[in-house]
Chains A and B, each alone.
Chain A
Amino acid sequence: MLSVEHVRAKREGNQLLLQELPPSKRARARELALELSELLAASVGDDRDTVEARLSGLELRPSERRIALGLAKLLLDEAEFGSHSPVEPVELRRALFERAATARRAATLETPFSREAVIGEVAPAFALEPDALEEALYADLRGAERLLRAPALDPELWVTRYEQGQVQAVLLRAVKVVVDVQCAAPEAYRSLFQKLKFRKLMYHSERLSGGGYRLTIDGPYSLFEAVTKYGLELSLLLPALEACDVFELRAEVLWGAHRTPLSFVHRHVRRSRAGEPSAVRDEIATLCKDFEALGSRWHPKISEDLLDLPGSGVCVPDLRFEHPDDPQPIFFELLGFWSREAVFRRVEWAERGLGKRIVFGVSSKLRVSESVLDADTHAALYVFKGKPSARALERKLDALRAP
């Protein structure tokens, strides 16, 4: 992972802008990536200190330093190092230093302490020549580790990783992030909120008029002070955001040695890849088809809504059912084989009031009774065997719609 000193950024007013690599600089970056990769490939077998000194010895123009350091960091992270010593260095040091301490105490003016004599005494016990002993003495230090495998010679890959890694590195200094995010499918939202919870981050959500949500994300303590303590967590949230279709992120960062407050903006549009599986779960797609075949007056749509209950959690429905005689939709979340705990969490949310009508689809394998949810909660449990049935779900929707 890149760190702050590898980022090529400039200030414009109170904005922090990443400097894009124009074609000529990008070509030079690829050259640097190739040179660094080749240096690493030629250094297999050398110790880390030597390898690092070799990489930092590259002739660079001042404007190339950050990118070269960043590329070197990415390459070194990917390289494989290991220690190499014919003897256990800790044991060697113990024997050598103990012998030396005894020799120094016994030294006199006539027979002064002799380093060579001590080494000469200890080396045979480890089956080493004196020179080999000197080499093995600190062979377990990080700087003495040997390069075992160099990373791939793929300059384009490293330059792309460098460009992507800069955003994460900037977020290390973030105190708060506001992100406008839009997902066509609920799965990406669900994954994003799971990550937020896992990273112990807090958020406030608002629905945007043009679709999607605005999430203001920081940590529990951020209410009292702008701290970079959550920077790493915010940075590690980025892959979950990148799985969403579109997002625009505005981060407040404390930048530079003086920790100057600056704003940073990053926009991202997910590029779908050929052969990528559909973002909609198979069971949901099947259920939609079954509903169409049923000729029901309920029309399912993939939901883009979030039912947020501050302090408790967020429910991400899979489907939004619309009925021509009802201005308000009813939502459906398929829990399937998730844990019983997930079901009871939703029961609790419904009791607290989710603000919308919703049916939770639960597999009978979870052994939960439909009666755990009271009728006055505007929510219902639909327990199914095998796969959810459109007909049974329709009855649940009708029952919830009934006055």
Chain B
Amino acid sequence: MITLRFEAGTLELEGVPGGFELPASCRFDKRSNSHRAPACAYAEVVTALHRAGVAYQDLARRYAELSASLVLHREPRPFQTEALAEFRRAHGRGVVVLPTGAGKSHLAVLAIQDRRRSTLVVVPTLDLVRQWYDLLRTSFGCEVGIVGGGSHELRELTVTTYDSAYLHMQHFGARFGLVVFDECHHLPSETYQLAAELCLAPFRLGLSATPERPDGRDAVLDRLIGPVVYRKDIVELSGEYLADYETVRLDVDLTPAERAEYAEQRKLYTDFLRAQGIRMSRGSGWSEFVQRAARSSAGRRAFQAYLRQRELSLAATGKLLALERLLDQHQNEQVLIFTQDNATAYAVSRRFLIPVITHQTKVKERSEILERFSRRQYGAIATSKVLNEGVDVPDASVAVVISGSGSVREHVQRLGRILRRSGDKRAILYELVSAGTSEHFTSERRREHVAYR
């Protein structure tokens, strides 16, 4: 009889009779004198054994039927019902693309109830761990496990981060029948994708507002999770299911001193690029610059100049003055302030006396800040990137992007933070851009999305 075992993120098959044709994912492993497949091939292997009528002992599967049931029933929106039907039709494997604020998490709750298997939810940040923990606990009325941020408690419903999933999936990858990859555009990175490979779960749900990646690796989602089974864009749901919104770009002038310094530093940097024949428009331009800059003192000066001119455009004095005006203007609204780097986020916090959330903020304090923000004890939060994704701040109606990258996904996600519908809220996103600097091009790049047209 064939015995299936889960071994450190792989499926070990012992006692395979000679002549029996295993799926292509299985290979003979002379290290263990057995056959082996990535754990994600479990469903395929079991199906093949069933079809061939071969007897097997399954010691691999360690997940169980879910003992908890939904205790909090919320009427699904029509598009959530449609998405769940498509997920079912795809045999419980697929990616659902919905804009931020449309209720992807609720869809996942419906999918968990539908599949009724112990479930692991994988999320990008600790803030999302906290948020999913609350959601699952309330929805199913049971204790929920957490792996990450100093906790390591496994339960039939468990939430973890991509980092922890990559590190620990080889240990607990057999304990879940359904895995939900929230913000699943993170999964295709070289390291994180192993979290999906080393997991045995036959049912897989991916959630994202922006699954496409600039490196094109989103193509592997099909293999790691399943195909895109359902999709709706922001403009299709805006007004009815999402808050109405507007986006405003504010050009901010550098002070004369900043302008002079910006020009000087930028010249130093661009002169170096020209002298070295480096073209930043080429894909390899940036790494070429970094490498050559490290080889000479002129290069290191050019690199410092690059950093300084960037700092001047991202955190110009004028932006902080503009922010002051916006905070006054929206003094009775809940405001999120986004920056590109931690230093600016802390500078904003110190100057305007508002709390900040960065990767350095401990989980307990993050939770407290978000809770006080939702109770309106705080009127604003500054953050660099950790609130970009997923974190639910339903009361926020104003976002101010002081600085950011050229990433369309980041910009759409930031907009998404303020779109959750709440009463007759009208959301507004301000983007502060230093006039006459390279930041203009960055801004143009990140606005290339239907949400900004």
Residues of A in contact with B (beta carbons under 8 Å apart): 62, 65, 90, 93-94, 96-98, 100-101, 104-105, 107, 112-113, 115, 118-119, 134, 137-138, 141-142, 200, 202-204, 219-221, 223-224, 227, 229, 257, 310-311
Contact = CB atoms under 8 A, between A and B. Distances in A.
A221 B353 contact: no
8 contacts: A62-B295, A94-B372, A96-B353, A97-B354, A204-B30, A220-B8, A229-B166, A311-B32
A74 to B, nearest CB: 20
Contacts of A203: 31
B170 interface: yes
B368 interface: yes
A119 B36 CA distance: 64
A310 B170 contact: no
Interface string B377-420: 11110000000000000000000000000000000000000000
B182 interface: no
A127 to B, nearest CB: 19
Interface stretch (B70-78, B241-249, B306-314, B324-332): B324-332
Contacts of A142: 360
B296 interface: yes
Nearest to B353: A100
A219 B328 contact: no
A219 B8 contact: yes
B47 interface: no
A203 B197 CA distance: 21
A152 B283 CA distance: 45
A342 to B, nearest CB: 20
Nearest to A107: B331
Interface in B164-204: 166, 170, 191, 194, 197-198
Given A112-B328, A310-B30, A311-B32, A220 B295 contact: no
B378 A221 contact: no
B31 A141 contact: no
Given A105-B331, A221-B197, 16 more contacts: A62-B297, A98-B377, A100-B354, A101-B377, A104-B328, A104-B379, A113-B327, A115-B351, A115-B352, A142-B360, A202-B31, A203-B31, A204-B30, A221-B9, A221-B170, A227-B194
A101 B381 CA distance: 11
Contacts of A141: 360
B36 to A, nearest CB: 6
B346 interface: yes
B355 A93 contact: yes
A96 B380 CA distance: 13
A224 B38 contact: yes
A137 B352 CA distance: 13
A122 B36 CA distance: 64
Given A65-B294, A105-B331, A115 B31 contact: no
B194 A221 contact: yes
A94 B367 CA distance: 12
Interface in B21-70: 27, 29-34, 36-38
Contacts of B354: 97, 100-101
Contacts of A138: 346, 350
A112 B327 CA distance: 12
Given A101-B377, A141-B360, A134 B353 contact: no
A229 B194 contact: yes
Interface residues of B, number: 45
A97 B378 contact: yes
Contact of A310 (B10, B31, B351, B352): B31
A281 to B, nearest CB: 29
B233 interface: no
Given A62-B295, A257-B287, A115 B29 contact: no
Q: Which of A62, A138, A219, A311 has the most CB of B within 10 A?
A: A311
A101 B8 contact: no
Contacts of A221: 8-10, 38, 170, 194, 197-198
A119 B191 CA distance: 46
Contacts of A200: 8, 170
Given A96-B353, A257-B287, A310 B346 contact: no
B242 to A, nearest CB: 27
Given A65-B294, A115-B351, A310-B32, A220 B194 contact: no
A97 B353 contact: yes
Interface string B84-117: 0000000000000000000000000000000000
B251 interface: no
Contacts of B27: 223-224
A98 B373 CA distance: 10
A254 to B, nearest CB: 10
Contacts of B264: none
Nearest to B378: A101
Given A220-B7, A257-B287, A229 B191 contact: yes
A223 B36 contact: yes
Contacts of B166: 229
A204 B31 CA distance: 5
A223 B37 CA distance: 9
B346 to A, nearest CB: 7
Closest 5 CB pairs between A and B? A100-B353, A311-B32, A310-B33, A220-B8, A311-B33
